[in-house]
Amino acid sequence: MIIAVDGPAASGKGTIARALAARFGLPYMDTGLLYRATALNLLSTGGDPESEFAAARATDIAQIDLADPELKSETVGGIASRISAYPMVRQALLERQRRFAAQEGGAVLDGRDIGTEIAPHAEVKLFVTASPEVRAERRLAELKRMDLDVHFPDVLADIHARDARDRDRAAAPLVMAEDAVLLDTSEMSAEAAIEAAVAAVEARLSAA
């Protein structure tokens, strides 16, 4: 079974996808990390984020430690959001994601285009969202836990900017797949959101 979990920044999709992977015993891939690793590689080799060629070259990330905490930084996230609009970058990262999705027994992947581009044939597709204000609050709490001096208006502005870049790009924009289940977590705790996601997966499986 392939479970595709898509949604905008800080919607809670990672928390939900990880929990689904544990619950259903499936391997999990956070595809945002591939874009973040590309951005970090570009930064650390002095490449120009304005250059699609330089960004595409930086997708050669076999050596990058996907557990490096630097991958989660706002700087890296900002560059990742920009370079993910380049078709050459998306193309270079496509095969790795499709291979992961195609492994025997299935997998859970989260990102922006899993249900539409990476695994359009996924048995279960969830589109996880929440209001920009709620997502900014969650991101703020996460950044404060990392001891960063951040402020709500800046975090909210960043969420709006990322949403616009994700939705308006020509290559694999963030859209809900027609056959996805919409999960708005604005009013939900993490536990409630996970339970709702598990229920959605089970409902899809019993309908199949």
Footprint on this chain of ligand C5P (rule: CB under 6 A): 9, 31-32, 35-36, 77, 80-81, 84, 111-113, 162, 166
Tell me the C-alpha to C-alpha distance, in Å, between residue 58 and each of 36, 45, 47, 89, 112: 11, 8, 8, 8, 20
Closer residue to ligand C5P in complex, CB, 162/204: 162
Asked whether 174 and 6 are in contact (CB, 8 A), the reply is yes
**How many Å apart are CA 190 and CA 108, to the nearest integer?**
18
**E-state strands within 55-154:** 107-111, 124-129
Closer residue to ligand C5P in complex, CB, 172/200: 172
**E-state strands within the chain:** 2-6, 28-30, 107-111, 124-129, 181-184
Closer residue to ligand C5P in complex, CB, 14/106: 14
Tell me the closest approach of the beta carbon of residue 134 to ligand C5P, in angstroms. 16
Tell me the closest approach of the beta carbon of residue 101 to ligand C5P, in angstroms. 11
Closer residue to ligand C5P in complex, CB, 32/132: 32
Tell me the closest approach of the beta carbon of residue 75 to ligand C5P, in angstroms. 12
Tell me the closest approach of the beta carbon of residue 125 to ligand C5P, in angstroms. 13
